[in-house]
A and B are shown apart, each in its own frame.
Chain A
Amino acid sequence: GENVEQHPSTLSVQEGDSAVIKCTYSDSASNYFPWYKQELGKGPQLIIDIRSNVGEKKDQRIAVTLNKTAKHFSLHITETQPEDSAVYFCAASSRRSGSARQLTFGSGTQLTVLP
């Protein structure tokens, strides 16, 4: 089955700096890669996603890049703000048993933006 590894597990940046979180996946058939933000005591919220027919996608201060050959994808947050502090999860959609596609999540990155 799919295995998603995420690094780093913790990341501290100064306000205004950029943050980069990287993930690798194992299943070459995976074709959908969302990123979720989880604030303390809340459920994960989708912040951006990318499909395998695209190499890069940007939404304001957030961008995601995908390298299908190397099987890795990254989240880039520019001009970080204290409210960006949260746990970020990457995920990959792959086909599990039977015909159903499922999301396999990375282990998460605790991002802290220091004022």
Chain B
Amino acid sequence: NADVMQNPRHLVRRRGQEARLRCSPMKGHSHVYWYRQLPEEGLKFMVYLQKENIIDESGMPKERFSAEFPKEGPSILRIQQVVRGDSAAYFCASSPLEARGSGANVLTFGAGSRLTVL
């Protein structure tokens, strides 16, 4: 997991503050995914990005959440005006360019960022 770097590992915010989570994909990987894991639950897809493009954000809440993957630098998941329900582990995963016809993106996950909203 260490090759997908996420920071911070732990983040504490008060209600109404902003949270920024960063993810650097594995070397050579051009696709980044964000998943959210609530306590004792599975991983829920949030957003899929390539450099400078959001490919699929169908799992993102419509308000307060945004994601980007700029040409230079890490991918960032931004949560504005956090509420207690945002407390969760946020995992980033990366994959190489999907080979045409392979029909599958093999994901490598980072260690996660654990957000606690007080």
Contact = CB atoms under 8 A, between A and B. Distances in A.
Contacts of B69: none
Contact of A43 (B98, B106, B112): B112
B56 A42 contact: no
A105 to B, nearest CB: 4
B56 A98 contact: yes
Interface stretch (B12-20, B38-46, B71-79): B38-46
A17 B10 CA distance: 37
Contact of A100 (B43, B55, B91): B55
Q: Of B4, B6, B33, B48, which is in contact with the most chain A CB atoms at under 10 Å from its CB?
A: B48
B93 to A, nearest CB: 8
Interface range for A: 20 to 34
Contacts of A93: 103-105
Given A101-B103, A103-B107, 4 more contacts: A49-B104, A93-B105, A100-B56, A103-B105
Interface of B: 1, 4, 6, 33, 35, 40-45, 48, 55-56, 58, 91, 98, 103-112
A105 B42 contact: yes
Nearest to A4: B42
Nearest to A93: B104
A51 B104 contact: yes
Given A44-B43, A44-B109, A105-B43, A97 B104 contact: no
A54 interface: no
B108 A96 contact: no
B91 A102 contact: no
Contacts of A18: none
Contact of B109 (A32, A36, A101, A107): A36
A46 interface: yes
